[in-house]
Amino acid sequence: MSCLKKPTDFAYTLSKFFSDYLAGLCNFSEHTIYSYRDTFKLFLKFCNNEVGLPAEKITFDNIDMSMIEHFLKWLKQERNSSISTCNQRLAAIHAFFRYVQYEHPERTALCQQVLFLKFAKAPKTELNYMSVEGIQALLAIPNTAVASGRRELAILSLLYDSGARVQEIANLRFGDIRLLNPAVVRLTGKGSKVRNVPLLKGNVQILSAYVHDNQRRLAHKDDVLFVNHSGQRMTRAGICYILRKNADAARLLHPELIPEKLTPHCLRHSKAMHLLQAGVNLIYIRDFLGHTDVKTTQIYARADVTLKRQAIEAANVVSIQSELKSWTEDTDLMAWLESLGKT
């Protein structure tokens, strides 16, 4: 008769972290939980293949800061993970060890070592967004003479007009939209935070046509709003496919308006920039997007200032030359500084 082996302290705590803490107390979204799960699947694979430590033998005594550093290095070098992806993996590890230090105070020293690990700095990238004309060109592509085209237009227009994250659109149920005045869509964002976003007249008409097409299926408020051809809830991948298909068609007609790489998040960026350029206050844009901190929203303001500067410089046909000598022309920096005050 075989007896069940008692799980290690690491295995027991990790299972409690996922079942009780993330899903229960924190009420994290499925997407976040899956991302954390993938992190620890990779960590277990790393321990087995690189350290020679199978999952069933991992204990907290085996883990230290250098092992986590080695894991992050392995992700980058062996799996070609980007800086952003490595930072996401480290965020999951940080979350776990914050949990551990309260569940196992005797492990506080280990936890603080791991929490001391800093996120890598990623190079700054330009904010990817489309012009109003680009959005109009994209939304003109779906064939509204057929039901599938009306569904695609409903998804794309709502994705842009609400500034929603792609998973927020995928999760929508029929009861989350109100098409009567005042029309709103109820979005459930990160941390299960709910926000109501107003729907504009054009979007209401598009959604009304879609609901009419699906009136037999959308009989109850809990019915999934957007489904695929199999009648299953639309996935992130499915929505990305619809965007990519229509973007490819729009690019053939307007290559100057449609970027080569277009993601659902680009539509969210576009809506935020268009609101900002229309003079909408950053605080309202923060609430509209579901940001916790206005500092996150300020990326749009910084991007807009940069674009204004570029436009001004491009329009400045009069070249203003400085009469000041460059200090690199003088071997004596002090002498150059002193010369600035002389006429």
Structure tokens at 214: 């699906």
44 against 320, higher pLDDT: 44
Amino acid 248 reads D
Check if 241 is active-site. no
Residue 319 has pLDDT above 70, yes or no: no
Residue 336 has pLDDT above 80, yes or no: no
pLDDT tens across 82-136, in order? Answer: 898 999 999 999 999 999 999 999 999 999 999 999 998 876 656 678 888 999 9
Domain at 9-115: CATH architecture: Orthogonal Bundle (1.10)
Among 263, 91, 297, 278, CA closest to 200: 278
Q: What CATH number should be reported for the domain whose range is 132-279?
A: 1.10.443.10
For the chain, the helix, strand and coil percentages under 3-state DSSP, each to the nearest 5: 60, 5, 35
Q: How far apart are CA 249 and CA 258, in angstroms?
A: 10
pLDDT of the residue at 289: 79
Structure tokens at 301: 């303001």
Residue 180 has pLDDT above 70, yes or no: yes
Domain boundaries, the chain: 9-115, 132-279
Among 70, 86, 271, CA closest to 165: 271
Residue 213 has pLDDT above 90, yes or no: yes
pLDDT of the residue at 283: 75
Mean pLDDT in residue range 41-64: 93
How does residue 311 score in pLDDT terms, banded at 50, 70 and 90? Answer: very low
For the chain, percent of residues with pLDDT exceeding 90: 53
How does residue 331 score in pLDDT terms, banded at 50, 70 and 90? Answer: very low
Q: Of 16, 98, 190, 217, which residue is the catalytic one?
A: 190
Q: Of 107, 165, 251, 271, which residue is the catalytic one?
A: 165
Angle separating helix axes 83-103 and 65-78, nearest 10 degrees: 160
Structure tokens at 129: 């967004």
pLDDT of the residue at 10: 93
Q: b/e map of 39-52 (b: 16 or more CB within 10 Å)?
A: bbebbbebbeeeee
Check if 165 is active-site. yes
Mean pLDDT in residue range 30-55: 91
Mean pLDDT in residue range 267-271: 88
Q: State phi, psi for 177 to the nearest 5 degrees.
A: -115, 140
Check if 190 is active-site. yes
pLDDT tens across 182-207, in order? Answer: 889 998 887 778 888 888 889 899 99
Q: State phi, psi for 233 to the nearest 5 degrees.
A: -55, 135
**Are 233 and 226 within 8 A, CB to CB?**
yes
CA 240 to chain centre: 14
Report the mean per-residue pLDDT for the chain: 83
* C-alpha triplet 23, 27, 33: angle, nearest 5°: 50
Q: How far apart are CA 224 and CA 218, in angstroms?
A: 8
How does residue 334 score in pLDDT terms, banded at 50, 70 and 90? Answer: low
How many Cα atoms occupy the beta-carbon half-sphere of 204 within 13 Å? 12
How many Cα atoms occupy the beta-carbon half-sphere of 320 within 13 Å? 2
pLDDT of the residue at 39: 94
Lowest mean pLDDT, pick from 101-110, 147-156, 216-225, 322-331: 322-331
Q: Of 37, 212, 265, 302, which residue is the catalytic one?
A: 265
Q: Of 151, 268, 269, 271, which residue is the catalytic one?
A: 268
Check if 265 is active-site. yes
128 against 180, higher pLDDT: 180
Mean pLDDT in residue range 52-75: 94
Mean pLDDT in residue range 315-340: 45
Structure tokens at 316: 């400045």
Q: How far apart are CA 31 and CA 274, in angstroms?
A: 28
pTM: 0.62
Q: Which residues, 6+ apart, have CB-to-CB distance to 152 below 8 Å?
A: 142, 242, 246
